[in-house]
């Protein structure tokens, strides 16, 4: 079953939080912690991560989208 819009929004919010945390304190240790957080997401949510990260990067690159 594909993820719902609510699932996508929740995972995106989690990723945005992780990005903010990493930008505030970019260390290898935190990078590992965030990688583990992503790795332990349920598979259906983890499968959304690449697409959602691209959406976040695109939105940052062009805020008018």
d(CA 57, CA 53): 6
Q: How many structural domains comprise the chain? A: 1
* pTM (predicted TM-score): 0.88
For residue 47, the enclosing domain spans: 5-61
3-state secondary structure the chain: CCCCHHHHHHHHHHHHHHHHHHHHCCCHHHHHHHHHHHHCCCHHHHCCHHHHHHHHHHHHHCCCC
Confidence of residue 63 (pLDDT cuts 50, 70, 90): confident
Average pLDDT on 22-36 reads 95
Whether 65 has a pLDDT exceeding 80, the answer reads: no
Percent pLDDT > 90 in the chain is: 91
Using CA atoms in the order 29, 44, 4, 58, what is the torsion angle rounded to 10 degrees?
50
Q: How many C-beta atoms lie closer than 10 Å to residue 8's C-beta?
A: 16
């Amino acid at each position: 079953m594909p993820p719902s819009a609510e699932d996508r929004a929740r995972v995106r919010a989690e990723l945005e939080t992780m990005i903010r945390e990493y930008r505030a304190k970019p260390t290898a240790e935190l990078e590992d912690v965030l990688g583990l957080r992503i790795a332990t997401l349920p598979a259906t949510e983890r499968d959304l991560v690449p697409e959602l990260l691209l959406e976040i990067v695109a939105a940052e690159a062009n805020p008018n989208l």
